[in-house]
Structure 1
Amino acid sequence: MYDSLPTRGPPTESPSPSEYTSLLPKPTNIDPPDFLAEEAHDGKHDSRKAILAEFWWLLKGSVPVILAYTLQNSLQTTSVLIVGRISPEHLATSAFSLMFAMITAWMIALGGTTAVDTLASSSFTGSANKHDLGILLQKGFFVLTLFYIPVAVLWACAEHVFLLLGQDPQLSKDSARFLTCLIPGGLGYIYFELMKKYLQAQGIMRPGTYVLLITSPLNALLNYLFCYTLNMGLLGAPVALGISYWLSFGMLVLYARLIAGSECWGGWTLEATQNLRIFARLAILGIIHVGTEWWAFEIVALAAGRLGTIPLAAQSVIMTADQVLNTIPFGVGVATSARVGNLLGARDAGGAARAANAAAWLSMVLGGVVLGVLMGTRDEFAKLFNSDEGVVRLTAEVLPYVALFQIADGLNGSCGGSLRGMGRQHVGAVVNLVSYYCGALPLGIWLAFHGWGLKGLWVGQCIALYLVGALEWVIVTWSNWEQEVDRAFQRMELDVQERLEAGDGLDGATTASLDE
């Protein structure tokens, strides 16, 4: 089953990544096509063939990830739509509760698991002990469960928190009940993300999509069953969501066990509960890196609520669309982090640099396509959600700003993925904090309440994303990639040293591979 997995060592050429291949290239004896003969003769390292191949690898790796995150978002959207049919109050409660879940627990899943992007992808190709990847997965279970405990307590006490924030008493009470029922499901969401990252580090990108193609319609059926047939009303939605998340996780485990991905699992070990400092630090920085952008968008949503009913409705339309569109740069970023980490672990500094730059251009091309679609449909776009003439007109006025930052958002996603692959989440976090909170966000809020209205808020977001995208691309482009290879192996060496100091047995292959 696993005969086609790559051997360790520097790559040259490879087939496209599949369910059984790493994102790393594999040696091949196939002669290059005639139209590349001249470039091969010139000895150019970044030949047209290599660059086109890099685009192809990244595109093939990104598409299933994008589809998976789109389907993942659809679980929540479906729950909101089904429970929202009971009453407008249930619609508001479910949407508000899931927004709060997004900026708390979902950030642990989407941001905390970036530690796996960094450590697992380089470990898969850099360590001769394939079971090191399984130990990293177990560390993820342990660390992120600990991170989730305060969030679960917060959800259980959410009514008091919402009241302190000035929310409606009934909304606060109902949202707290919703979130309390979602506590078990939140952990399933985090574990599902961890399993996806474990497989993606091995170049196995599609299982998340396969699983969600099954659990997405099942989630809709469960929502209808619990909300209507069993008369659970509002609380049926979080119960159905929780079951869907745990089913998704369980099916991904079965995929890894029965089809592809199990060779890196060496069984449960106490090593996973020791030497957690590196993983925890990268996870915290990843939460800050991903969270700072999402939190800024939620601040914009709160500010829009103070502009009036029509701006709030238009903002809801735009935010719903942006959450779907954001899966494109985020998916490219996930594939990029795995690719860059794999190449660093294989000591291929040139390949990692080429992958990072190819990802940046790929994300801008995809962003340009989205920009064209949004601009071409801006006058009709809001009608998909609401027929009110004021909402449609205001959405059409604001949408060009949203369309404009799609290219920058693509850069943000791909370059952020490169930084995570390098283990430099702290750089992305600092760039986000400075760009959003020290400049663009205050400017957008000021413009919104000084004559610009909703457009002012999105002008601020547009400025922030271009600042973030440009700064991160400069940082990635000017990176010393040979040094990044050394840093990747230093992280692995530090982990080995700490395990030795803790008295854990390590095989000779692991230490020998790091000494080479």
Structure 2
Amino acid sequence: MEDNGHQTQPLLTSRHQTPPDSAVFKADSDDIAPIAAVGDFTREFFIESKKLWYLAGPAIFTSICQYSLGAITQVFSGHVSTIALAAVSVENSVIAGFCLGITYGMGSALETLCGQAYGAGQVHMLGVYMQRSWVIMNSTAILLLLLYVLAEPLLKAIGQTATISEAAGKFALLMIPQLFAYTFNYPMQKFLQAQSKIMAMAWIAAAALLLHVLFSWLLMLKLGWGLVGAAVVLNASWWFIDVGQFAYILSGTCGEAWSGFSLEAFRNLWGFVRLSLASAVMLCLEVWYFMALILFAGYLKNAEVSVDALSICMNILGWTIMVSFGMNAAVSVRVSNELGASHPRTAKFSLLVAVVTSILIGILLSLVLIIFREQYPFLFSNDSAVRKMVVDLTPMLALCIVINNVQPVLSGVAVGAGWQTAVAYVNIACYYIFGIPLGLVLGYVLDFGVMGIWSGMLSGTILQTAVLFFMIYKTDWNKEASLAEDRIKKWGGHSKTHA
């Protein structure tokens, strides 16, 4: 097999043999070499699975808990009124979704830098990277405030109904504190993930979720605060997570990674901005793609029912994608750590284990959804028309779960290896040049409605996944390890010297 014109090592490897030298890389004895038998593969698969699940288990739980904050707010909104559900769905998908894509994307730059620095033993740089990210992301959030302030006219301008736009616009104004909670949260997440300190994040997220359910029921339904209650509880829950994570960092458990606030955070800001923007573009193009699906549904006949039904499906899809996001975080940490430590074969094997695991999980989740397709819509809406459309869309949702359970894992590899710019171009071509136009043709021109829009856009996701598979297949992982060392030196660390 050849990668980018270089001869590469086999994918299946065993860490008990000494790998041969490479022109660009000479491995430590901790890297793994070609596997000779099925038994070796099975043993190595379980060893790597244990490492991945040590990270992925708490990361999946944390992702599900944090995603569930907004999802549960939508569930309670559906029991307030149809327009309340539409308002929360549109604000959550369009306004907050747009900003989430930018903040999460910019924060993901730390997955590359922190992960590779930690793998190279440059632990002291993690706190500096996190503070630089805070400075840049909060400056960006000030600009993003305009989207919240102008949400109502913007939604009307892009064709949403006046009723939905007005309700979503008022809700957006109440959700401004959540924007700044995002800017602090994601850098702290990447900082802790790089050090494999996932359990603390999981416990904080679990506490936030329990309190969120209790107070959402109390304020939105029991006391009748409606959307105001939804905003109060959702904002408070996100800031609870931020305060909890920062308190954990200050407690001293991160050791050398956090040595206090430093003026070094203000050095090399422009270079850090460029890296953050590349990460943001890559992630935004993915987040906005699904945001656009709900937006297009608002232009169909019977828009409120279409938006509500599709938002319920996206809600379910979001919960299942959180599983793959947890695996995304785990494989990103594993790949970046191993590349930072100059172990390219181990990084490659981590990818294989993560992809196989994600496919199996996606199939299992899809089967559960198909089996209970007549029951689960009752959890989200009292409207029979909305529930019927959700049942009709369930087969498409099940297929989407399988595909989207793999794609974030591949994106995690891209982040761990620092390929954000290249993947951004892939996303533009597959999602916006191919997927969206095809969805619009199927949905509007051929009159297949929501199913047509979704089918076309899912085709874009399938194409993007295939391209990422090809990129990874053709990658020279020895060269990536060498690039990781150069990246660490560029951003202020000094990689250890390998024998």
TM range (shorter): 0.7 to 0.9
Aligned-partner SS, 2:491? helix
Give runs of aligned pairs for residues 38-117 of structure 1, distance below 5 A.
Answer: 47-82=41-76, 85-117=79-111
Give yes or no for the alignment of 1:465 onto 2:461: yes
Q: Is the Cα contact below 8 Å between 1:114 and 1:282 reproduced in 2?
A: no
What is residue 188 of structure 1 aligned with on the other side?
181
Q: CA deviation at 1:391?
A: 4.7
Question: Could you say which residue in structure 2 is the equivalent of 1:489?
Answer: 485
Distance 1:181 1:464, change over 3 A: same
Between stretches 295-304 and 223-232, larger displacement belongs to 223-232
Partner of 2:4: none
Matches within 5 A, 1:14-25: none
Q: CA, structure 1 residues 76+461, in 2 after alignment: closer, same or farther (shift >3 Å)? A: same
Cα distance, 1:369–1:279 mapped onto 2, change above 3 Å: farther
For residue 442 of structure 1, the aligned residue among 437, 441, 451 is: 437
| Letter aligned with residue 494 of structure 1 | K
Q: Is 2:313 the counterpart of 1:318?
A: yes
Whole-angstrom distance in 2 between the partners of 1:420 and 1:512: 19
Question: Are residues 1:291 and 2:290 paired?
Answer: no
Which stretch shows the higher mean deviation, 457-466 or 198-207? 457-466
**Alignment-mate amino acid for residue 462 of structure 1:** L
Change (3 A) 1:424 1:412: same
**Residue 241 (structure 2) pairs with residue 248 (structure 1):** yes
Partner AA of 1:92 in structure 2? A
With the length of structure 2 as denominator, give the TM-score of the two structures. Answer: 0.85
- Cα shift at 1:486: 1.4
Please give the residue correspondences for 1:273-288 in structure 2 after superposition, counting only pairs within 5 Å.
273-288=266-281
Distance 1:50 1:149, change over 3 A: same
What is the alpha-carbon distance in structure 2 between the residues aligned to residue 233 and residue 398 of structure 1?
Answer: 28
**Larger relative contact order (C-alpha < 8 A, sep ≥ 6)?**
2
Name the SS for the 1:103 alignment partner. Answer: helix
Q: Report the AA paired with residue 268 of structure 2.
A: N
Which residue does 1:513 correspond to in 2? 496
Out of 202, 205, 215, the residue aligned to residue 208 of structure 2 is 215
Q: Give unpaired runs (5+ residues) of structure 2.
A: 1-13, 17-27
Task: Indicate whether 1:203 and 2:228 are aligned.
Answer: no
Q: Give the equivalent residue in structure 2 for 1:144.
A: 137
User: In the alignment, is the contact (CA less than 8 A) between 2:90 and 2:295 conserved in 1?
Assistant: no
Per the TM alignment, residue 313 of structure 1 is displaced from its structure 2 partner at its CA by 4.2
Q: 1:173 to 1:456 in 2, by over 3 A?
A: closer
Decide whether the 8 Å contact of 1:108 with 1:190 is kept in 2. no
CA offset at residue 329 of structure 1? 1.6
Contact 1:360-1:414 within 8 A present in 2 as well: yes
Contact 1:177 1:235 in 2 (8 A): no
Question: Residues 414 and 243 of structure 1: is their aligned pair in 2 closer, same or farther, counting only changes over 3 Å?
Answer: same
Preserved contact between residue 111 and residue 289 of structure 1 (Cα < 8 Å): yes
> May I ask how many residue pairs the two structures share in their alignment?
469
Find the aligned partners of 1:425 and 1:196 in 2 and give their Cα distance: 19
> What is the SS of the residue equivalent to 2:57?
helix
Structure 1 residues 219 and 56 mapped into 2: Cα distance closer, same or farther (>3 Å)?
A: same
**Among candidates 115, 120, 125, match of residue 114 of structure 2:** 120
* Cα distance change, pair 278–371 in 1 and its aligned pair in 2 (3 A): farther
Which residue is 2:344 aligned to?
349
> What corresponds to 1:398 in structure 2?
393
> CA 1:78–1:408 in structure 2 vs 1: closer, same or farther (change >3 Å)?
closer
Alpha-carbon shift at residue 87 of structure 1 (Å):
4.6
Q: What is the alpha-carbon distance in structure 2 between the residues aligned to residue 421 and residue 348 of structure 1? A: 13
Q: Give CA-to-partner distance per residue, 1:290-314, whole Å, 9 cap, x none.
A: 2222222222222223333354443
Alpha-carbon contact 2:120-2:341 (below 8 Å) kept: yes
Say whether 1:423 aligns with 2:406. Answer: no
**AA aligned opposite 2:96:** M
Name the residue aligned to 1:502: none
- Which consecutive unaligned segments of at least 5 residues does structure 1 have? 1-10, 14-24, 28-38, 497-509
Q: Structure 1, residues 59-89: CA drift from partner, whole Å, max 9, x if none?
A: 3321221211211122223334445655544
Preserved CA contact (<8 Å) 2:77 2:84: yes
Alpha-carbon spacing, 1:149–1:358, altered in 2? closer, same or farther (3 Å): same
Cα 1:282/1:459, change in 2 over 3 Å: same
Name the CA distance, whole Å, in 1 between partners of 2:83 and 2:383.
20
